[in-house]
Amino acid sequence: SINEHDQMLFISTDEGSSFQRQPVSFTYTMNRSSNSHDPENLKKLIYLSFFIFQLYISTDLGHKWTLLQDHFTLLKFLGKIDHNSLSVQDEYIFVKVTTGNRTKYYVSFRRNEFVQMRFPKYALPKDVQIVSTDENQVFLALQEWYQTDTYNLYQSDPQGVYYSIVLENVRSTKQPEENVLIDILEVRGIKGVFLANQKVDGKVMTLITYNKGRDWEPLAPPTTDMNGKPVSCKQPDCHLHLHLRWADNPYVSGTVHTKDSAPGLIMGAGNLGSQLVEYKEEMYITSDCGKTWRQVFEEEHHILYLDHGGVIVAIKDTSIPLKILKFSIDEGLSWSIHNFTSTSVFVDGLLSEPGDETLVMTVFGHISYRSDWELVKVDFRQSFPRQCTEADYDSWKLTDLQGEKCIMGQERMYRRRKESSFCIKGKSYTSALTAKPCQCTEKDFACDYGFERAPSLRLEGDRCYPDFWHDPDAPPENCHLGHSYKSSTGYRKVIANVCEGGLNKEQSAKQHSCPLLAPKGLQLGIKGQMLAVAPGDEITFIVHQEQGDTTRTRYQVDLMDGVRAIYENLTVTDEPIQHRYEKPGVYRVNVKAENSAGHDQATLYIQVTAPLQDVHLEVVPIAGRNQEVNLTAIVLPTEANLTVFYWWIGDNLQPKLTLENSLIARFSEEGEVPVTVQASNGRSMVQDSKTVIRLSSDQFQIIPLSFSRNLDRFNPNIPEWRQDVGQVVTKILAKLTGVPQDSLVTMVKPGLPTTADLYVLPQESTPVKRSVFVDKRVPTIKQVLSENNVSFIVRGGLRVLVTLPDYITEHELQNCDRKNYKNHGSLLRPEESSLTRPWLRFRKLPGRNVYAQMYNEKEQEMTSPVNHSEDTQNIIQGEEFIDDDLDSQTLGNAGGRSQFSYARLTRKEKL
């Protein structure tokens, strides 16, 4: 049971009646042995934990776990491990690793170290499905880069490392939940026999092999139909084709039925013709392993084998209720009907009692769609008067479709019950009779790795040709000095083939001594593939070498922060290279591999940077047409390095990228222009947005403002503080000048000394004429500022003077705390803070050119680059002075990202 929050392993030792919880860390466990019915195999449970890199084994059905191997997975894996790809089958463990856009597959044979599985160089697999792991060989389906609904079949050497193609374009079907079904079936009972559906030019044909894929042939059609009438299907234009589907219902067999204890007996649904037809499912049977076939039904049936195939039970696959079943005791030559119930039922599935010899089965279903399950037990034991004796059997010899008797290097004889004998085979029955080895011939050898047969060159003989990328005489990648290897002849004996003497296609292989191979394909990576880390994070470096003698190579590792290491043998570095970088920066990690034959090196750049906490977009709230506007992004933490900035302006979906935190922009169209910046440093990404109002140049004026220097002492340089100061200045100026507050916007700029810009906007009720706009309002505002009438109290009676630049004199600085205090002291009240005010967005009010702005609330404060004491900053952030008589509203995104105020609104106009 695996999920994000609770990872536990549950074990059942009583076929699912109860489960015991095993306290293990996030694991993935599978037991997909092809011989899973063997109790000895069921006792061996294995699980891998890729997070703690340990392999455990249990031999008592999961009650106790023993550490089998520690730190065995990651050293050889340069890339991301797909934890869901772990598969344990017989002697093999498989796993998939992704590096960049390339996927690699690894195998562990007999629980040894993982080795990369070698497919043809340019197969470039998109997916791999394991078909069989019988007899020390992997049989798999591989979807290559150019395939969509087909797979190619490959076979391996005994270690499961080197693969050669045996059949192209096997049909595949994608099921819900991304499950893939491959149209290939291993025929149980006789090793080496497979059925596959090949799809070529849109046509699907069923093929059979008797030698594990070395040769494939289409199925021969029957000569008569189920009524004994001749059929018109003639080779080579017409064959028998079978559906090779799995059943969705686990209690119902699929479309083809075979059994280990009934060798040669195959029953399936399909059709006759030039290709497989999807919805035509007649039933056919063979008792000689596919050499000859007979039609038995015109519709698909569910099938169950009893008594080693001595009784075949068939129930029609239909959506209507049934009360009869059919059964045969002569391998499908004749069929009898049995009423298994007096009331028709909708059949859901068929089950047999444990054991191949059983003659007892259960039909389960329901009478109506709302009723409970109905179980009907059917016992065939009373149909047989006695137990079979040796006289009740005869024999049959296995041959392929060409009549060849030597299959997989031997002649095999099997026992079967005579048609006239009505007896029970029973528990002691065995099907195999005799096996006689044959002399080896060319058909006992398949193509070796890097070789394949060319159908277009069949006239030149049944030969294996090397692929263009393969050099048969080249030493293998794991060849070490002092060892030897054989160059391939292009052939290898079919795995599990037991032929003796005769032709040996591998005999001419030359013996070579392994040369000292120079290191080649050296790669350096880190676990998790994250090239950007935080200071103090533990990094596990992985060194991987594609080719070369690793036992005689020296590896020098330089981590670039003064730490260096030397390894004499890459294969024995069981402890991974682990390191922590304490300081931010870029580190160029270098590994050099060198021996007397040559050298190779790999370099990796590690970015050590703290995650970004926040970004604040600084921008003027109002801009003129085609006026240059400076967009500035302030990032937290301020010492963040390696930051990339993405700028979106207006509705353009294509951002502008910069390495600097500022950008010059122009706005050509009037109206609201949204601006968004994202800052990214490889480990995190933060975002902020603002809206700029673009007006024509004669619609607004900008008046620069200065403050007495005593304000700088209390400037924490955070957006919230700048917003509140701008809000206060706007209210004071509106009250002193009579200019409507909705026509004024004060933006306090970041940094020191503290300065601001006052934006004077037009009123819609007043004709927009520059002479009126300038003469009536701007001079009035400048007059008030030049007379030092604008001031406010920061805290504790400390008064700050607001004026035009260069108007503040030393005398005024000394007396500003007393001057006009009586007139303006009532403007500020310490018990109110503008931080509690609602946030507004720029909008145009009815009948007036008034704009406001709203942003998402952010609680993170900007850190000031100004050197204030910590106590001073805390005091400033803790107390604010705002006059609620002016009904102030704060502008900007919550944390106060914008540094300007907007004019007073009536109660009905508030947002």
End-to-end CA distance of the chain: 51
Predicted TM-score (pTM) of the model is 0.66
In whole angstroms, give the CA distance from residue 346 to residue 323: 9
Residue 807: pLDDT band by 50, 70, 90 thresholds?
low
Could you tell me what percent of the chain has a pLDDT over 70? Answer: 77
Q: Which residue(s) pair with 594 in the sheet?
A: 554, 599
Residues 551, 571 contacting (CB under 8 angstroms)? yes
In whole angstroms, give the CA distance from residue 763 to residue 746: 17
Q: Which residue(s) pair with 854 in the sheet?
A: 892
- Fill in the DSSP letter of residue 372: P
SS3 (DSSP) at 746: strand
Q: Beta 598-608 vs 532-533: how paired, if at all?
A: parallel
Amino acid code (one letter) for 799: R
Q: Helix crossing, 870-878 with 719-737: angle to 10°?
A: 50
What is the 3 state secondary structure string of 669-701? CCEEEEEEEEEECCCCEEEEEEEEEEECHHHCE
Mean pLDDT (whole number) for 612-627: 82
Of 49-58, 187-196, 691-700, which has the strongest mean pLDDT? 187-196
Strands (E), 401-537: 410-417, 432-437, 439-440, 445-447, 451-453, 464-466, 484-486, 491-493, 500-502, 511-513, 520-526, 532-533
What is the separation of C-alpha 837 from the centre of its chain, rounded to a whole number of angstroms? Answer: 46
Of 36-40, 270-274, 804-808, 887-891, which has the strongest mean pLDDT? 270-274
Note the pLDDT tens digit of each residue in 885-911. 333 333 233 333 333 333 333 323 332
- Structure tokens, 153: 């079949």
pLDDT at position 46: 41
Which helix (H) or strand (E) element contains residue 722? helix 719-737
Note the pLDDT tens digit of each residue in 303-352. 999 999 999 999 998 889 999 999 999 999 999 999 999 889 999 888 88
Residue 764: pLDDT band by 50, 70, 90 thresholds?
low
Residue 35: other Cβ atoms inside 10 A = 13
Half-sphere exposure of 252 (CA within 13 A, CB side): 19
**pLDDT exceeds 50 at position 847:** no
What residues contact residue 408 under an 8 Å CB cut-off, 6+ apart? 191, 192, 210, 211, 212, 494, 496, 497, 498
Residue 178: other Cβ atoms inside 10 A = 6
DSSP tally for the chain: helices H, then strands E: 7, 63
In whole angstroms, give the CA distance from residue 144 to residue 136: 24
Q: What are phi and psi of 390, to 5 degrees?
A: -60, -30
Q: DSSP string spanning 489-529?
A: -SEEEPTT---EEE--TTTTPPEEEPP-PPPEEEEEEEGGG
In whole angstroms, give the CA distance from residue 599 to residue 518: 6
Note the pLDDT tens digit of each residue in 853-886. 333 333 333 332 333 333 333 322 333 333 333 3
Which helix (H) or strand (E) element contains residue 557? strand 554-558
pLDDT at position 901: 32
- Structure tokens, 315: 């129930």
Q: What are phi and psi of 505, to 5 degrees?
A: -75, -10
- Structure tokens, 738: 């009579």
Whole-angstrom Cα Rg for the chain: 41
Q: What are phi and psi of 836, to 5 degrees?
A: -90, 0
Could you tell me which of 113, 79, 71 has the C-alpha nearest to residue 96? 79
**pLDDT exceeds 60 at position 255:** yes
Note the pLDDT tens digit of each residue in 8-37. 555 555 555 555 555 443 333 333 333 433
Residues 634, 615 contacting (CB under 8 angstroms)? yes
